[in-house]
Amino acid sequence: YTVGHSLGEYAALVASGVMSAEDAVQIVAKRGALMATAFPKGTGSMAAVLGLNEPEVKAICDKLSTADLKIEPANLNCPGQIVVSGHQSKIDELVRDGKSLGAKRVLPLNVSGPFHSSMMEVISDEFSAFLDQFEFNDAVVPVVQNT
């Protein structure tokens, strides 16, 4: 089996024969460029929530989110560590109020955007069209995907 988290998933796809390393470099570069332009710097971010399970983190995200400003669970790193992604003001609120909402700790992540969140849907059509130019093979080694 191969497995990778976030960008590491591309390495897993290369190792499994799904794509060439050259194609992966082009795809990752385009992904990064699109993600960097999806939102102005400072409009979205991520934070790690420690000491709560997925339903508890989801409930906090639902409580703090509004119709226009959302946060959501993005990565289930391990039991008791869930990364949340979304609008900057709501991430800031989560970091500030996380302990009072039941978290052991909430750590802001040093990232430039709301990655792994529904906010990235604004780039999905362009990225999908870009991917259409590549040929993907069946995996010769199974890939465990994290989505």
The residues annotated with a catalytic role in the active site are 6, 116
* DSSP calls for 69-121: S-EEEEEEEETTEEEEEEEHHHHHHHHHHTTTTT-SEEEE---SS-TTSGGGG
Question: Closest Cα partner for 82 from 53, 117, 125?
Answer: 53
Report phi then psi at 61, rounded to 5.
-60, -45
Residue-wise over 23-57: b if at least 16 C-beta within 10 A, else e?
bbeebeeebeebbeebbeeeebbbbbbebbeeeeb
Q: Reduced to 3 states, what is the DSSP secondary structure of residue 37?
A: helix
